Amino acid sequence: MSMVSKEKLRKIGVIIAASTMIMTIAPLNFQFDTGVHAEAAERASDMTKRSQVLPRPTITGKIGKVFIQHPVPSTGLSVIAQVPVKGLPNTKVIVNGREYMTNSSGFVEIPLFHKEGEDFDMYQINSAGDKSPVTHYHFVDDVDLIDLQLTTDIKAGDTFVTGIGTPGATVTIRKGSATPSIAIVGANGEFRVSIPAYSGVNDSVMFQTLGDAYSREVPLDKNKLVPMTVFDVPSADSELVHGNMVLMGKATPWTDLEIRVNGQLVSSAYTHKDGFFNANTPKQNIGTDVSITQVSRTGLRETKVVKVVDKSKNSIKFTNYTFGSSYLNGTYTGSVVRTRIYSGSKVYPSAGTFTNGTFRYYFGGDPISNINGPIYRFLEGYDVNNQIVAIFGKYM
């Protein structure tokens, strides 16, 4: 194949547009030298062959947790989970830099090690060196399915989102108590969900379910803070814990909280993986302003200011619960008319019977369990306008 001078390419007007994956030839409106044109086309064809993009391998179902962590003899590392993967037949799947080979049906089960935590990167590569996109996955220890993630970040005005989940799972996008948007993940692990036009306020969550398995709820917009929900903090002796006031609310998952009075830092806390927080702070006089600032790992900040009051205008609490019971009983004040229950990463729908200061929530055949030991359980209390007016959390 002969070399072509830069001057000759300039004269004939060939534009070569290259990316990391493909090269495209775009002819301008000039007469071409047949040999040069054929040579350029041949090079583009070779590049396309070498740069073929493979489909992503998919995570086909439940992630199998390994609670008794025995070191694997070949590595000396403890396994925390087994991930079922479907790729192309007899193809290498790379997870966190380790190679695994799919069988003739395209399946392989991949171990995750304790030191890796609950995150992993995965792609597949064939014998010709063609690769799929590298995708980052995350899950949490009390659920069976990976977190949903969007393939393109959402922006204000968008009326649909696309993303990656578990094939066959139901994707739900929910904003408060409004009717959710739902779609099914395709066989290729991808989904598309139509939504009301996104306002730019990060107040919706997404999750997936497959049979009795589910993922945790994650914010729809990963680039913005979830607006903080927090209420005036009671200081009556009956509301104190070990002499401290208790701030309960909800914000962005896994963010730090800074609590200040008169500009002075008086306590700090963090939000749980579902965004809830339960923060103790020294008792203050009624009428005092207390500021709570959430700080994300990327440095985003949001501050809300609440008042110290004697007792909360609206409240909800649950009393002692026997694990496995079909009912949860509790008390409420103010305008609460129903509740949504969060037990770890499991979310129960908003419901309940509220009468004269007491409520009862019916779980049916899916009661709260204690399979993973004591964890925080949270309640959201809603008014008739579907607004959250009270939050309560208890470790049990």
Q: What is the pLDDT along the chain (396 residues), one digit of tens a residue?
A: 444 444 443 433 433 333 333 333 333 333 333 344 344 444 444 444 445 789 999 999 998 876 545 555 555 568 888 899 999 999 999 999 999 999 999 999 998 887 777 889 999 999 999 999 999 998 887 788 999 999 999 999 999 999 999 999 999 999 877 789 999 999 999 999 999 999 999 999 999 999 989 999 999 999 999 999 999 999 999 999 999 999 999 999 999 999 999 999 999 999 988 899 999 999 999 999 999 999 998 899 999 999 999 999 999 999 888 899 999 999 999 999 999 999 888 899 999 999 999 999 999 888 988 766 678 899 999 999 989 999 999 888
Q: Which residues of 298-311 are buried (b: 16+ CB within 10 A; e: fewer)?
A: eeeebebebebbee
298: tokens are 């990327």
Would you state the CATH architecture of domain 58-138? Sandwich (2.60)
Exposure class string for 144-173: b at 16+ Cβ within 10 A, else e: bbbbbebeeebeeebeebebbbbbebbbbb
Element (H, E) at 184: strand 181-184
Cα 261 from Cα 300, distance rounded (Å): 21
DSSP-assigned letters across all residues of 316-365: EEE----TT-SEEEEEEETT--EEEEEETTEEEEEE-EEETTEEEEE-TT
- Burial class from Cβ neighbours inside 10 Å (0-12, 13-18, 19+) for residue 66 reads middle
pTM score above 0.95 = no
Topology of the domain covering 315-395: Immunoglobulin-like (2.60.40)
Contact 367, 385 (CB under 8 A): no
Could you give the residue range(s) of every CATH 2.60.40.10 domain in the chain? 229-309
Q: Which one is the CATH code of 149-219: 1.25.40, 1.10.3470, 2.60.40, 1.10.405?
A: 2.60.40
Second-level CATH architecture of 229-309: Sandwich (2.60)
